[in-house]
């Protein structure tokens, strides 16, 4: 979409021709594309055909269907429910304002209009709408690319099976090496794509945060629902950035690229995950987190350690108590190792459940539904590549203690 030529389209619905003309003239001067309808039936037809970016909808229209019914019908349709609707009401019609929000309206403006207030509300909702569309497009692009990657993996697998049947051992090895090189190039492309997507998502998250701050200066002009929508955009963007970072790490892990271990302050890594990668989830679950006073410095690779804590903490938030109480700490062990752990107040796991907890899921959709990170089986691989082990201790009804051990020295 070329932002230099694209005009936001606003549909104005009002049976008062004088008011309709005045609004059209006022907003038309601000370089908006204006559509008009004098009754509810025309409004529904125009919306289905033109898909405006925003609708200014009069509540009281004596002829035909009311503004409330127009809103209810638009919000019930998948193709139009995302279009923001600003109700136009009389100053004294408080009941109408409340009912409008209950039916899915996004905001209201009272008659007679104050031009600056009207323009501020219109611009705010158009900005929110644009951010929502950009985020949705980014997610759709990521989903499409993941599907293509899975198809490529399946083709490679079929090719290997066919090659093994038709060739001797030497030929198989040579062709297998060729296939592996091709797979590595594909994975490197995924890393590049994920990096670009992460940059775009960071921009969306940053813009939503900035827009929230801008709106805070106009609190009387912006309703609570609009601010909440902005916050949700920011939270969704941050969550998606976490997922993309996980995909980057996973692709690099499959590429088996060499990494350099360095001495790291584990307290800094834990703090970063809590304050920068999981703040919204911690607030959502109203979690209480207790951290150890002393953390050791250990050799490792920071992105891998962040992903390990990301999984352990997000699991504790989801499967801990209500609200979750989490305690994080470190314990020195014999043989120059350190054990890092997180204890929750959840329902705990049976012996059978503990035996399966680090086993890869057979259904990829189940993996996506269960957490923000890569999953405990990948966590196990990361820790083992750093020379450590993972585990869980639990009794049913007594919570869980997830841990991982690492060498204390390089």
Residue 81 has pLDDT above 70, yes or no: yes
Residue 239 has pLDDT above 70, yes or no: no
Q: Which helix (H) or strand (E) element contains residue 196?
A: helix 169-216
Q: Beta partners for 332? A: 338
pLDDT for position 2 = 41
Strand, coil or helix: 408: coil
Across the range 12-19, mean pLDDT stands at: 89
User: What length does the chain have?
Assistant: 410
Are the C-beta atoms of 33 and 10 separated by less than 8 Å? yes
Across the range 27-52, mean pLDDT stands at: 91
pLDDT for position 6 = 60
pLDDT for position 210 = 67
Q: What's the Cα-to-Cα distance from 121 to each of 86, 104, 125, 127, 276, rounded to whole Å? A: 8, 17, 6, 10, 31
Which tokens sit at 52? 């405006």
Are the C-beta atoms of 289 and 268 separated by less than 8 Å? no
Position with higher pLDDT, 276 vs 2: 276
376: nearest Cα among 307, 327, 320, 322: 307
pLDDT for position 90 = 75
pLDDT for position 361 = 56
Residue 192 has pLDDT above 70, yes or no: no
Strand, coil or helix: 270: helix
Average pLDDT, the chain: 79
- Other Cβ atoms less than 10 A from the Cβ of 277: the count is 22
Residue 372 has pLDDT above 70, yes or no: no
Residue 371 has pLDDT above 50, yes or no: no
Which tokens sit at 291? 């951290």
Residue 362 has pLDDT above 50, yes or no: no
- Angstrom distance (rounded) from CA 38 to CA 16: 7
pLDDT for position 291 = 96
- Other Cβ atoms less than 10 A from the Cβ of 71: the count is 25
Across the range 55-67, mean pLDDT stands at: 87
pLDDT for position 54 = 94
Are the C-beta atoms of 312 and 380 separated by less than 8 Å? no
Domain boundaries for CATH 3.40.50.2300 within the chain:
9-113
Architecture of domain 262-407: 2-Layer Sandwich (3.30)
pLDDT for position 219 = 55
pLDDT for position 242 = 64
Domain boundaries for CATH 3.30.565.10 within the chain:
262-407
**Based on the number of CB atoms within 10 Å of its own CB, is 239 exposed (0-12), middle (13-18) or buried (19 or more)?**
middle
Helix residue ranges, H only, 287-375: 302-319, 351-356, 364-370
Q: 9-113: which CATH topology?
A: Rossmann fold (3.40.50)
**pLDDT tens string 141-191:** 777 776 776 676 677 667 666 665 665 555 555 655 665 565 555 555 555
**pLDDT tens string 96-154:** 777 888 888 888 888 888 888 888 889 888 988 888 888 777 777 777 776 776 676 67
pLDDT for position 63 = 80
- Other Cβ atoms less than 10 A from the Cβ of 155: the count is 11
Residue 325 C-alpha from the chain's centroid: 24
């Amino acid at each position: 979409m070329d932002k230099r030529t694209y005009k936001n389209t606003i549909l104005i619905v009002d049976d008062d021709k004088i008011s309709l003309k005045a609004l059209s003239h006022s907003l038309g001067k601000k370089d908006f594309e204006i559509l008009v309808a004098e009754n509810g039936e025309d409004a529904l037809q125009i919306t289905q055909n033109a898909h405006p970016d925003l609708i200014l909808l009069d509540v009281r229209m004596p002829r035909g269907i009311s503004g409330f019914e127009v809103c209810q019908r638009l919000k019930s349709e998948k193709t139009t429910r995302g279009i923001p609707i600003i109700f136009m009401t009389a100053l004294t019609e408080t009941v109408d304002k409340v009912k409008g929000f209950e039916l899915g309206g996004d905001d209201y403006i009272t008659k007679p209009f104050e031009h600056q207030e009207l323009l501020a509300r219109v611009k705010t909702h158009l900005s929110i709408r644009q951010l929502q569309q950009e985020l949705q497009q980014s997610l759709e692009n990521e989903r499409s690319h993941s599907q293509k990657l899975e198809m490529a993996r399946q083709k490679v697998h079929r090719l290997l099976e066919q090659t093994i049947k038709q060739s001797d051992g030497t030929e198989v090895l040579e062709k297998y090496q060729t296939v592996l090189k091709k797979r590595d190039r594909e994975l490197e492309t995924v890393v590049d794509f994920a990096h670009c997507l992460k940059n775009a998502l960071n921009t969306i998250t940053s813009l939503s945060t900035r827009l929230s701050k801008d709106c805070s200066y106009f609190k009387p002009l912006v309703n609570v629902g609009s601010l909440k929508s902005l916050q949700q955009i920011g939270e969704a963007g941050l969550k998606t950035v976490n997922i993309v970072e996980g995909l980057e790490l996973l692709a690099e892990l499959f590429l088996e690229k060499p990494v350099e271990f360095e001495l790291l302050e584990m307290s800094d890594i834990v703090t970063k995950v809590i304050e920068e990668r999981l703040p919204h989830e911690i607030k959502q679950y109203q979690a209480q987190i207790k951290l150890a006073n002393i953390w050791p410095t250990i050799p490792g690779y920071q992105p891998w350690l962040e992903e390990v804590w990301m999984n352990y903490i997000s699991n504790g938030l989801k499967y801990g108590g209500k609200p979750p109480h989490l305690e994080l700490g470190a314990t020195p062990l014999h043989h120059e190792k350190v054990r890092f752990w997180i204890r929750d107040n959840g329902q705990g796991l049976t012996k059978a459940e503990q035996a399966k907890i680090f086993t890869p899921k057979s259904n990829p959709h189940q993996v996506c539904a269960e957490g923000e990170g890569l999953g405990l089986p990948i966590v196990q691989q990361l820790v083992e590549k750093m020379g450590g082990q993972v585990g869980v201790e639990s009794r049913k009804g007594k919570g869980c203690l997830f841990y991982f051990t690492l060498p204390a020295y390089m």
